[in-house]
């Protein structure tokens, strides 16, 4: 199938199949099950592994939430719009503020805002992973932080 994931090359791309609303379905190379063995056996024992999501408030207000899995430290990144270029640029800029030892991987959901995840990985040297579809609990620390932030950043 043209445009589909090619396991022999290790390349990720959009498949030719689409969701019912016409959005392209992503087929990503680094699923959450492909994290390194030490991450999956002792998921919170090693610092520098982050979970992220894009939190939407009122129209035209978005915040990227990043939670470090070991310490549960939360960072908020203001994002001007929800398109992939803006989100990835904001994450790249933010990643440059931290030492490499404190930012080794980022697990995100499968939202279209991270469609340009390859550029993020190449630019920052931070490995990106993605949750399974409709499995937000695979980023439990981030989902909990988002729930707490909703008290102050309401969707109107």
One DSSP character per residue, 36-81 reads -HHHHHSTTTSSSEEEEEEEE-STT-EEEEEEETTT--EEEEEES-
- Residue 154 resides in a domain: no
- Residue 24 resides in a domain: yes
Q: Are residues 24 and 44 in the same domain?
A: no
Nearest to 43 by CA among 146, 143, 141, 125: 141
pTM (predicted TM-score): 0.74
- CA–CA gap between residue 137 and residue 43 (Å, rounded): 14
Q: Are residues 57 and 20 in the same domain?
A: no
**pLDDT, tens digit (0-9, with 9 covering 90-100), for 107-133:** 998 888 989 999 999 999 999 899 888
- Residue 155 resides in a domain: no
Give the domain range for residue 45: 36-149
Q: Are residues 10 and 82 in the same domain?
A: no
User: What stretches in the chain show pLDDT beneath 70?
Assistant: 1-43, 156
Q: Are residues 73 and 138 in the same domain?
A: yes
* Total tally of structural domains belonging to the chain: 2
Confidence at residue 46, expressed as pLDDT on a 0 to 100 scale: 82
- Residue 156 resides in a domain: no
Q: Are residues 58 and 7 in the same domain?
A: no
CATH code: domain of residue 75? 3.30.420.10
- CA–CA gap between residue 43 and residue 104 (Å, rounded): 14
Confidence at residue 23, expressed as pLDDT on a 0 to 100 scale: 52
Q: Are residues 53 and 110 in the same domain?
A: yes
């Amino acid at each position: 199938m043209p445009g589909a994931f090619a396991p022999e090359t290790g390349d990720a791309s959009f498949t030719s199949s689409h969701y019912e609303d016409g959005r392209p379905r992503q087929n990503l190379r680094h699923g959450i099950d492909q994290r390194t063995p030490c991450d999956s056996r002792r998921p919170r024992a090693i610092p520098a592994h982050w979970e992220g999501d894009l939190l939407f408030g009122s129209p035209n207000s978005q915040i990227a939430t990043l939670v470090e899995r070991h310490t549960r430290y939360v960072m908020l990144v203001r994002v001007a719009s929800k398109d992939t270029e803006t989100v990835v640029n904001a994450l790249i800029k933010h990643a440059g503020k931290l030492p490499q030892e404190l930012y080794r991987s980022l697990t995100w959901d499968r939202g279209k805002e991270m469609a340009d995840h390859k550029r993020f990985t190449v630019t920052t040297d931070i490995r990106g992973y993605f949750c399974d579809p409709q499995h937000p609990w695979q980023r439990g620390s981030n989902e909990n932080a988002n729930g707490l932030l909703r008290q102050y950043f309401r969707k109107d």
